[in-house]
Structure 1
Amino acid sequence: MELSLAHPAIKAFMCGSVSGTCSTLLFQPLDLVKTRLQTLQSGMQPGSGRVGMMTVVLSVVRTERLLGLWKGVSPSFARTIPGVGLYFSSYYSLKQHFLQDRSPGAAEAVLLGGSARTVAGVFMLPVTVIKTRFECGRYSYGSVTGALRSVCRTEGPAALFSGLMATLLRDVPFSGIYVMLYSQAKASLPKEVRSSASAPLANFSCGVVAGVLASLITQPADVVKTHVQVNPQLRTAVAIRYIYKEHRLRGFFRGAVPRALRRTLMAAMAWTVYEQMMTSIGLKS
């Protein structure tokens, strides 16, 4: 069979999966804290602005011990390892098909990043729903497969695709903006830096800048997505009205700090590891 492990798209998938594994394990606590902040009930926060990252961290450690910060790591692995692999293999395949070996322009980078994320986001959405429910602390699922069966049995298979619109409104712009800013920042680096031993550090720094901006722009969609997936009776428009009614505009930026930290560091690490691995096996990323 021609599509073997030597196929470039398969290599890109494997490189992406490795990068996703490393970043998921390191940054899972930030994702859990973000989800808990976004799903706090009004009655639990008399001065909503006073409930911050450290409050949530201490509460989780006190009630669920230190390992409680890694609650949801199993569905995170189930989502991120194949999801990041699928994202990078889609990105690589699209880039090779439309651009061959040249670097993408700004608009092309947006389209490449957004298209690759659409493929990965839709395919991995059922596991994303389960991951969000694990992290929020309101559900007592025993395993990822058990959670998938439970949702299908009690709510119907359609529940596994709840928040699809909000997820795409979050992930597609994030990836498009991120790839555009990241590729443009890398292209602006001096040639001697790009070919030196410090290139991975320079690439990581470019990823951090791109990640912070992309995270802040897409934060409102992330809050809406979390509410829809945790409360299956909500629809995207209803969730938007609910968040605004309960918390006003600041409600759309709850959890922005841990999310920006996680998404920025995760994306920067994933792209750095991916590009280094692709270079080491003789492929242009």
Structure 2
Amino acid sequence: MKEVVRFVIRQDQVSGLWRGLQPSILRCVPGVGIYFSSLHLLQSKTLGETKPAAYQSLILAATARTFTATILIPFTVVKTRIESGNYKYPGVAGALRSIYSLEGRAGLVSGLSATLIRDAPFSAIYLMCYNEGKAMVGGRVSGPAGGSINFMCGIAAGVCASILTQPADVIKTKMQLNKGRLSMRLAAVGIYRVYGMSGFFRGLAPRVIRRTLIAAMAWTIYEEIMSCLGLNT
């Protein structure tokens, strides 16, 4: 990771570390809103105020994430390509137009299958571990310590979920960087031939840091907002 940071700075200066920020914001900000609202709706309609069991957390989170990831897949494709540095697009809108004109609708949903295989299990594993972690410390803790405990439970859940879903993330990236509608199977075979099994865990460290912190912060803030509103989480 240090070598990559130095390389990016040499090539594009420090600003290069923020390449792909705009599509990332356009994907993550509405993504968080859609995911939490979908999850809350599903949980309230199916369970009411009952706390979900481990298997119920898996199903609820996977369903909400599948819905969210499917809606936002075009921004995921743009983000991946801009971050790679191999594509020069005139902004996000220009990127969407360029991809559609050259690759059709298939280009805008490139890597959707791998994205769902990555995101749905990540959210499922995360929510299950997060809820079980909170249960181990006696459920939600009120007061100043509550946010810290929720955040630490989120960190632990994020690390576990990131490691288990890393191979799908590598395959997804490979598919989205390829204009030739690369299938998931061919992407996996290509990664294995070049890098072996270790290739499926390339980029693990930065992804663990990024995904873990994003998820932990989002869930901590979500819990605090829902508590202030007097709503069940």
SS at match of 2:56: helix
Match of 2:99 in 1: 151
Aligned match for 2:64, one of 116, 125, 134: 116
Q: CA RMSD in A?
A: 1.0
The CA deviation at 1:101 is 0.8
Instruction: Give the corresponding residue for 2:136.
Output: 188
Structure 1 stretches of 4+ with a deviation exceeding 6 A read none
- Residue number in structure 1 paired with 2:26: 78
Partner of 1:23: none
CA distance in 2, matches of 1:78, 1:138: 21
Equivalence for 1:231: 178
SS at match of 1:103: coil
Q: Please give the TM-score of this superposition, normalised by the length of structure 2.
A: 0.97
Alignment partner of 1:211 is 2:158: yes
CA distance in 2, matches of 1:278, 1:60: 40
Which blocks of at least 5 consecutive residues in structure 2 are unaligned? none
Partner of residue 188 from structure 2, selected from 217, 240, 244: 240
Distance in 1 of aligned mates of 2:40 and 2:15: 36
Partner residue of 1:280?
228
- In structure 1, give the amino acid aligned to 2:221: V
Shift of 1:157: 1.5
Partner of 1:221: 168
> Aligned match of 2:43 in 81, 95, 104?
95
1:283: how far off? 1.8
Q: Distance in 2 between matches of 1:61 and 1:283?
A: 45
Alignment counterpart, residue 260 of structure 1, candidates 195, 208, 214: 208
Q: Structure 1 stretch 177-186 or stretch 274-283: which is displaced more?
A: 274-283
Corresponding residue pairs, total: 232
Shift of 1:63: 1.5
1:142 counterpart = 2:90 = yes
Identity percentage of aligned residues: 48
Shift of 1:274: 1.1
Q: For residue 282 of structure 1, report the CA deviation from its aligned partner.
A: 2.4
Alpha-carbon displacement from aligned partner over 1:10-35 (angstroms, at most 9, x marks no partner): xxxxxxxxxxxxxxxxxxxxxxxxxx
SS in 2 for 1:177: helix
Deviation string 1:89-113 (CA, Å, 9 cap, x unpaired) is 0000000000111111000000011
State how far apart, in whole Å, the 2-side matches of 1:144 and 1:279 are: 36
TM-score for both structures, normalised by structure 1: 0.80
Counterpart Cα distance in 2 of 1:75 and 1:131: 5
Equivalent AA in structure 1 for residue 8 of structure 2 = V
Cα distance in 2 for residues equivalent to 1:199 and 1:272 = 9
State the Cα distance separating 1:199 from its structure 2 match. 0.5
- Greater relative contact order, per chain length (Cα 8 Å cut-off, separation 6+): 1
Cα distance in 2 between the residues matched to 1:237 and 1:99: 38
Deviations 1:26-74 (A, max 9, x none): xxxxxxxxxxxxxxxxxxxxxxxxxxx0111011112211111111010
**Structure 1: gaps spanning 5 or more residues:** 1-52
